[in-house]
Structure 1
Amino acid sequence: MKRNYVNIVVLGLVLWACSGVAAAIQPAKPSVDASSWLLMDFETGQIIIEENADQQLPPASLTKMMTSYIIADQLHKGNISEQDKVLISENAWAQNPKLKGSSLMFVEVNKYVTVEDLHRGIVIQSGNDASIAMAEHIAGSEEAFADLMNQYAKRLGMNSTHFMNSTGLPHEQHNTTARDLAKLARALIIDFPEDYSLYAEREFKYNGITQQNRNELLGDTTLGVDGIKTGHTEAAGYCLVSSAEKQGMRLISVVMGTDSMGSRASESRKLLNYGFRFYTNVKAFTAGKSLKQAEVWKGEEELVGVGLAQDAVLTVLKSEKDQLKANYKLNGKLMAPIQKGQVVGEVYFQMGDKVVKRMPMVALDKVEEAGFFGRMWDSMALWFED
């Protein structure tokens, strides 16, 4: 076997020419009047800016995002249907006196209401009565449903969240974080896009009563907000999880613990405007495209293409996108046999000296092990090289 004795270990690539580029202008992080907040890019999942994003706080009716997520999942699995009729228990109906100002759909005890109407009552009207009715319909009791919520939270990586009920009514053990809520918001949109469209509806009429969606940003045509959920209790303050799409870029903002309805809207607007104005997404590499032919030892082929299993998309400052660099390295020498998709190294992206994203590098083809003489030849070559 002929072999080039080239040890491919570290490779570098400048994605855009950056020699002589002046230092990028770095915008100041906005001052946000909230206990905890963050801004996430939807496509990449990258956090753009944050403050106290891991502080556990009461979520109030932001809880209903998980209630709705479970309803959507159960609908898509066929365990329930939109036309199922749900009997309203006294427990669900009796939410009226539970909390001053409690959000209600105004269902009536011992009446039947469809899952479709109850789901709308949860998402648009934030009905505590509707939430408990659906919790009982799916799990038998609200306590059992809360356990289900916690299982879903764990699956979604919401590691700092614990639910005690389906509504968000105050409980000392009912807490979450801005980071976990952003994860949930992203999952809602990715996993159930058709159900997510409910969050953009401005009003819903049931039992002769028309109620408005409390998300004030839905009326802001300049931002493209199409969700997601408001929340308020005395302990939680005024909270809002928002999602907006503008010029092909979607952002998710979370603000918790503001002091008024107007403040939660204005602080969310501040974050979204900041993200759209200063940030963009860059597609650095395409999945399946060979980044390099890497040397293979003891194989039928001497080289194998290596690349990424997924597109490499990064959220970066518009002023810094020309300074993005990629480096990639192999996990030592590659020995056959090699399977297609096998992780053989890492690609890491840098802005200056800071690594901003890491992705596994994989073999793009299969390489079978060589015959006896081929393996022996490479074994001797390796012995001399070492």
Structure 2
Amino acid sequence: MIRSYIQAARISFIAFIAAAFAMAAGAAGAYASFETKAEYAVLMDGETGAILYEKKGDELMSPASMSKLMTMTMLFEALKEDRISLEDEFTISENAWRKGGAASGSSTMFAKVHSRIPVKDLIRGVIVQSGNDACIAIAEGLKGSEAAFAEAMTERARELGMEKATFANSTGWPDPAQKMTARELAILARHMIYDLPDYYPYFAETEFTWNGITQHNRNPLLYLGMGVDGLKTGHTEDSGYGLVASAERGERRLIMVVNGLGSERERSEESQKLMEWGFREFKEYDLYAAGAVVENADVWQGVYDKVPLVVTEDVTIIMTRDARKNMKVTAEWNGPLQAPITAGEQAGTLIVTAPDMPTRRIPLVAGADVEQQGLFGRALSSLKQMIMGQ
């Protein structure tokens, strides 16, 4: 019976704990001690979205080609919704060729002007070759113009919870209006990995040939055998060197963002160190199974004088091993609870604290109905309180 009430009032603990991490995030070192040369950095747990480490994670920055992840999100969502197919072809307009092709001197797929290219190849042109021509062709193919596409990118970013990101183009070309935060890039990567899984394997491809020219994926971590399977590099003079990467080991996945580094070598070294540190230092700890009774709360004027307080979901906490040694778990409620009480209603809070980590608060719900006593019973309870102080 208790279980049925829990299911009826079910809360997504994973979403709650991810939000708790996000709201509590502060300066670098808020969760654990780590130093990086990156000007901006975020390390996220893939499953929960919990932020394990951040440095200027909520400050706007120039994302360079890492903003191509938003372009790919727009394309992959169009594919998922069957608005286009992988075999559809988009045209490399003169605009796309001049701004992003061989004539531009920027990252390019080397597509020929006025050629028609299947979507499946444009995807590789963007992900593997970082082709600006491919991005502009996608933008024009989906929305008619790059300006209209950029407007749609910003709108979709808001829907995905990215409140600060703004887009002026599909490529990441420097523009005062092309800004994102490191946290937003991590949110976007997580969306692609978990909500668009059919298309995520493209990010693991290491080379692609088009127009007789073979180019290799610029993601340095793909070649190190450390479980990395995506996502995207970025570099402009304004942004420095950046990388959005994700790695999976066993059942754990981490998502990492770094930006503002001084060279390709520095980008490779710093991103590798941060990713390895995350897998080494953080561990999942199972505290309670869904439906577990955490505490029995006193009840005032109820047919029962106690009611169980339970969690609605498995409670798993991600923290460092050192923090686990000094973790404290307590249950709080404003008691005694006043009858009548309905099973499933929030009745208290589970509080988890540990050194160098934000306090986490998890809702506790009543595990059973407790009806109110009759008039005579309530009178006796009041008399008992006056006599005994209870």
Comparing 168-177 and 90-99, the one that deviates more = 90-99
Q: Does 1:345 align with 2:354?
A: no
Q: Which one-letter code corresponds to 2:165 in the other structure? A: T
Is 2:260 aligned against 1:240?
A: no
Unpaired runs of 5+ in structure 2? 1-30
Residues 59 and 168, structure 1, Cα contact 8 Å, conserved in 2: yes
2:73 counterpart residue number: 69
Residues 309, 361 of structure 1: 8 Å contact kept: yes
CA distance in 2, matches of 1:118, 1:330: 56
Which residue does 1:114 correspond to in 2?
A: 118
Structure 1 segment 101-140 matched on structure 2, within 5 A:
101-140=105-144
User: Structure 1 stretches of 5 or more lacking a match?
Assistant: 1-26
The 5 Å alignment of 1:254-273 reads 254-273=257-276
Change (3 A) 1:293 1:103: same
Question: 1:55 maps to which residue?
Answer: 59
With normalisation by structure 2, the TM-score equals: 0.81
Partner of 2:321: 318
| Alignment partner, residue 6 of structure 2 | none
The Cα of 1:36 is off from its aligned counterpart by 1.3
Equivalent position SS for 1:95: helix
In the alignment, the residues of structure 1 paired with residue 356 and residue 40 of structure 2 have an alpha-carbon distance, to the nearest angstrom, of 29
Equivalent residue for 2:167? 163
Q: Distance in 1 between matches of 2:75 and 2:206?
A: 20
Q: 2: CA distance between counterparts of 1:298 and 1:87?
A: 74
- C-alpha RMSD over aligned residues: 2.9
CA distance in 2: counterparts of 1:313 and 1:208, whole angstroms: 51
What is the match of residue 187 of structure 1? 191
CA–CA distance in structure 2, aligned partners of residues 381 and 130 of structure 1:
79
Counterpart in 1 of 2:232? Answer: 229
Name 2:146's counterpart in structure 1.
142
Q: Secondary structure at the match of 1:161?
A: coil
Letter in 2 for 1:322: K
Do 1:36 and 1:257's aligned partners in 2 also have CA atoms closer than 8 Å? yes
Say yes or no: does 1:356 pair with 2:366: no
1:274 counterpart (265, 274, 277): 277
Q: 1:380 to 1:61 in 2, by over 3 A?
A: farther
> 1:316: Cα distance to partner?
1.1
Tell me what 1:152 maps to.
156
Change beyond 3 A, Cα 1:192–1:343: farther
Return the alpha-carbon distance in structure 2 between the equivalents of residues 113 and 257 of structure 1.
34
CA distance in 2: counterparts of 1:57 and 1:353, whole angstroms? 27
Whole-Å separation in 1 of the counterparts to 2:367 and 2:171: 48
Shift of 1:280: 1.3
1:131-154 Cα offsets, whole Å, 9 max, x none, are 122222222322222222112222
Question: How far apart are residue 334 of structure 1 and its match?
Answer: 5.2
Q: 1:250 aligns to what?
A: 253
* C-alpha separation in 2, matches of 1:309 and 1:279: 24
In 2, the alpha carbon distance for the partners of 1:331 and 1:206 equals 67
Task: Work out whether 1:32 is the aligned partner of 2:56.
Answer: no
Q: Is 1:199–2:203 an aligned residue pair? A: yes
Q: Distance in 2 between matches of 1:135 and 1:304?
A: 58
CA distance in 2 between counterparts of 1:178 and 1:207 reads 34
Instruction: Answer yes or no: is the 8 Å Cα contact 1:249–1:281 preserved in 2.
Output: no
State the Cα distance separating 1:358 from its structure 2 match: 1.9
How many angstroms apart in 2 are the aligned matches of 1:155 and 1:383?
Answer: 53
Equivalences, count: 354
Identity %: 40
